[in-house]
Amino acid sequence: MDQSRKRRANSPLTSGISAKKPKQEVSALSIKTQKQHDNSPALLKLPNSNVDIDSDWAQQYRIPNLPGADVYYQADFVDEERANSWYQLLCELETWYRPTLTMYGKGYIQSRSIAGYVTSPDLTARYSGHSVQMNHPYPPLLIEIQNRVSEALGVGFDHIMLNWYQNGSVHIGKHRDTKDNQVIASLSLGAKRTFVMHPHISKGEKKVDADATRWVLANGSLLVMQGDTQENWKHEIPKEPKVKEGRISLTFRQIVHA
Ligand SMILES: O=C(O)CCC(=O)C(=O)O
Ligand SMILES: [Fe+2]
Q: For residue 12, report the distance from its CA to the centre of ligand 2, in Å.
A: 27
Output the residue whose Cα is nearest ligand 1's atom 3.
249
In a domain, 160, yes or no: yes
Atom of ligand 1 nearest to the CA of 195: 3
In a domain, 37, yes or no: no
Q: For residue 151, report the distance from its CA to the centre of ligand 1, in Å.
A: 21
Asked if this assembly's ipTM is beyond 0.90, the reply is yes
User: Which residues contact ligand 1 via a Cβ below 6 A?
Assistant: 161, 163, 172, 177, 186, 235, 237, 249, 251
Q: For residue 258, report the distance from its CA to the centre of ligand 1, in Å.
A: 24
In a domain, 74, yes or no: yes
- Show the 3-state SS of the chain: CCHHHHHHHCCCCCCCCCCCCCHHHHHCCCCCCCCCCCCCCCCCCCCCCCCCCCCHHHHHHECCCCCCCEEEEECCCCCHHHHHHHHHHHHCCCCCECCEEEECCEEEECCCEEEEEECCCCCCCEECCEECCEECCCCHHHHHHHHHHHHHHCCCCCEEEEEEECCCCCCEEEECCCCCCCEEEEEEEECCEEEEEEECEECCEECCCCCCEEEEECCCCEEEEECCHHHHEEEEECCCCCCCCCEEEEEEECCCCC
* pLDDT score at 42: 92
Ranges in the chain, pLDDT < 70? 1-11, 14-40, 257-258
What range does the domain containing 95 cover?
A: 45-253
In a domain, 101, yes or no: yes
Atom of ligand 1 nearest to the CA of 249: 1
In a domain, 7, yes or no: no
pTM, to two decimals: 0.86
Give the integer Cα–Cα distance in Å for 118 and 152: 20
In a domain, 176, yes or no: yes
Output the residue whose Cα is nearest ligand 1's atom 9.
251
CATH number at residue 138: 2.60.120.590
* pLDDT score at 25: 36
Candidates 114, 164, 171, 172: which one to mutate for ligand 1, based on the most atoms within 8 Å of Cβ?
172
Q: For residue 10, report the distance from its CA to the centre of ligand 2, in Å.
A: 33
In a domain, 185, yes or no: yes
Q: For residue 88, report the distance from its CA to the centre of ligand 1, in Å.
A: 19
Structural domain count, the chain: 1
